[in-house]
Homo-oligomer: A and B are copies of this chain.
Amino acid sequence: MTGISQREGVTLEELKKKMADFARERDWDKFHSPRNLLLALVGEVGELSEIFQWKGEVPKGLPDWKEEEKDHLGEELSDVLLYLVRLSDICGVDLGKAALRKVELNAIKYPVGLCKGSSKKYTHITTTTTTDSEVQSNNGCSGNV
């Protein structure tokens, strides 16, 4: 009761514990090596992509999707999340802490004042050398706007 009313939803820590319990109860820890879990994650991202693959562009909120399609989407999004949580745990990474830190790093990398209304992050392309035209991800929009 109080527990539920005080929290605003599920923590990553809770999911981590559930996944660890789940594996332990089934004696599946032996399968959960970092690269096994990573490939399982890639598999789930593939299944997530399959949901969207023949649809062309879809609007936010997916207004025309059937309930069963949205349920299925929720399952595939969850599968990706659950393997991501498990992979982080097995690698000894505190995913929640890392995510909060990454949001802060992103805020430094893309300051509001300079980036607002700019699509530089998304469109800027730099050719680096004559032998390799790899697109570089633009490390910020400062100076470009």
Binding site for B on A (CB under 8 A): 3, 6-15, 18-19, 22, 25-28, 31-36, 38-62, 66, 68-75, 77-82, 84, 87-88, 90-103, 105-110, 112, 115-119, 121-123, 125, 127-129, 131-135, 137, 139
Could you tell me the dominant secondary structure of chain A's interface residues? helix
Q: Which residues of B contact A38 (CB under 8 A)?
A: 39, 48-49, 52
Are A18 and B93 CB-contacts (below 8 A) given A46-B45, A46-B46? no
Partner among B3, B34, B71 whose Cβ is within 8 Å of the Cβ of A133: B71
CA separation between A81 and B60, bound complex, in Å? 19
**Contact status of A91 and B75, CB under 8 A, knowing A56-B36, A80-B84, A135-B51:** no
